[in-house]
Amino acid sequence: MRVGPVTHRGVAREMIAREPDKRRGQRIQTALLVFLKNAEGITRDVSASGVFFWTSECSCAPGELISFSVELKRPEGRMMLKCQGDVVRTELCNGMMGVAVKITDSAMKIV
């Protein structure tokens, strides 16, 4: 039996093929401003049930409750989508933290 990277990649491919995607909503790739308590960020993608954003100043961990707002610009003016959610995962890349959040509560507010 061969043990090494090729074997591991084959196992990972097989697991991905058997494991269904747990995401419920369609993701839309868009760059929207995100405002946290003491930080700002920018979305990578959003859906009706979640969001992934990049920030340089946020320290959070999976399982934590997080509150944030997403700025939406419309011809009539700005709106803020105020959200609360559970941090599902985080990832570090080039000094930035990526945060995936499952939204549990949200409300629109005209600014």
**Per-residue pLDDT tens over the stretch 65-104:** 999 999 999 999 999 999 999 999 999 999 899 999 999 9
pLDDT at res. 23: 52
Q: What pLDDT does 22 receive?
A: 56
The whole-number average pLDDT for the span 20-40 is 83
What pLDDT does residue 58 have?
77
Q: Provide, rounded to the nearest whole percent, the portion of the chain with pLDDT above 70.
A: 78
pLDDT reading at 1 higher than 50: no
State the Cα angle at 78 between 105 and 42, rounded to 5°: 65
Question: Considering all CA atoms of the chain, what is the largest pairwise distance in Å, rounded to the nearest integer?
Answer: 65
90 and 60 in contact (C-beta within 8 Å)?
yes
